[in-house]
Chains A and B, each alone.
Chain A
Amino acid sequence: MDNELGQLIHNTLEAESNEFDLAARVMARLPAPSSGGTPRGWRLFWVPALATAGALALFLTLSGHDNSITNDCAIDQLDVTGASATVLKLNETGTTVVWLNEASEEEEL
């Protein structure tokens, strides 16, 4: 602060904001903390990975097949942007499963 005008602006806003306190209101509006405070990068990896494994297990259980899955698929072309893809082949039926997990787009500041 190097001038009277600056001091006047500073003093005005300091006087107006002196009693201001909304910490409790902000905290009440935060989303619930994630379990154990897992870092974001690990969440990005494990959540899709577990979802893929779960879906696959469910698929195999419901379709009644044994462990006849391989990853030796013949893939002509696979373009994936902003997502991870898992490609598996079920040998008994010859079905190829392509599983995509799309990452959510980050909001601009």
Chain B
Amino acid sequence: MESDDRQLVRQVQGGDQRAFRTLVERYQRKVFAMALGMLRERGAAEDLTQEVFLKAYRHLGNFQGASSFYTWLYRITTNLCIDQLRKSRRFVEVELEDQAFEGSAEMVAQPLGFDPARAFADREIRERVLRALDMLSPNHRAAILLREAEGLSYEEIAETMGCSLGTVMSRLFHARKRMQAELSVLVEPAAAEEGR
């Protein structure tokens, strides 16, 4: 996939717009998922996704391939989302925990108490998840989305967000802890349902 991306990027740099369409089709759902997780509103996420690809197209001439195309694309996405959230001031930025974190980002990865596959069928669960994401600061939200929704490694997240590995682990630790607290309300109805 990565070498294929590089080939497509070279074709776009040579003026081939069909190659760019292939890249859009390949990554549009991932970029949209990231934008939706960050912004929560579908319309805003759609507009931002378009903006990401238009910006990527404008700057692709300068893309040297030092990083992979998708981490470059996620960097554009993350930066645009964080800019938009800062402009709308829809959050309180508290990230004092980012410093000096030496634990494991996985240490609070406890069972939720219900089947995550329920999210596919249950819109209410999805709405709860998006609301819980909305409670996180933009940087914590971006870190957990890059990890869980996009499947990036810690190193790739650090590269995308322009921070250290320790900061990534700290952001993930606190984001997961907060998310689990916000979503604990889902466990009781699930347990009650199973008891019937």
The number of chain B residues touching the other chain, given as a range, is 35 or more
In the complex, are the beta carbons of B126 and A12 less than 8 A apart?
yes
In the complex, are the beta carbons of A5 and B179 less than 8 A apart?
yes
Query: In the complex the two chains form, what is the Cα distance from A33 to B24 in whole Å?
Result: 17
Task: Give the number of residue pairs across the A-B interface with Cβ within 8 Å.
Answer: 131
Query: In the complex the two chains form, what is the Cα distance from A25 to B193 in whole Å?
Result: 44
Query: In the complex the two chains form, what is the Cα distance from A27 to B23 in whole Å?
Result: 11
Residues of B within 8 A of A (CB): 13-17, 20-21, 24-25, 28-30, 32-34, 36-37, 42, 46, 49-50, 53-55, 57-59, 61-62, 75-76, 79, 106, 109-112, 116-117, 119-120, 125-126, 129-130, 133, 144-145, 147-149, 151, 176, 179-180, 183
Instruction: State the Cβ distance, A109 to closest chain B Cβ, in Å.
Output: 6
Residues of A within 8 A of B (CB): 1-18, 20-23, 25-27, 29-30, 33-34, 36-40, 106-107, 109
Instruction: State the Cβ distance, A35 to closest chain B Cβ, in Å.
Output: 9
Q: Which residues of chain A are near B112, meaning CB under 8 Å? A: 4-5, 8
Of the candidates B16, B34, B119, the one whose C-beta lies within 8 Å of that of A8 is B119
Evaluate whether A11 and B46 lie within 8 angstroms (CB atoms) in the complex, with A16-B126, A40-B13 already known: no
Query: In the complex the two chains form, what is the Cα distance from A16 to B180 in whole Å?
Result: 21
Of the candidates B13, B36, B116, B176, the one whose C-beta lies within 8 Å of that of A17 is B36
In the complex, are the beta carbons of A5 and B59 less than 8 A apart?
no
Query: In the complex the two chains form, what is the Cα distance from A36 to B16 in whole Å?
Result: 9
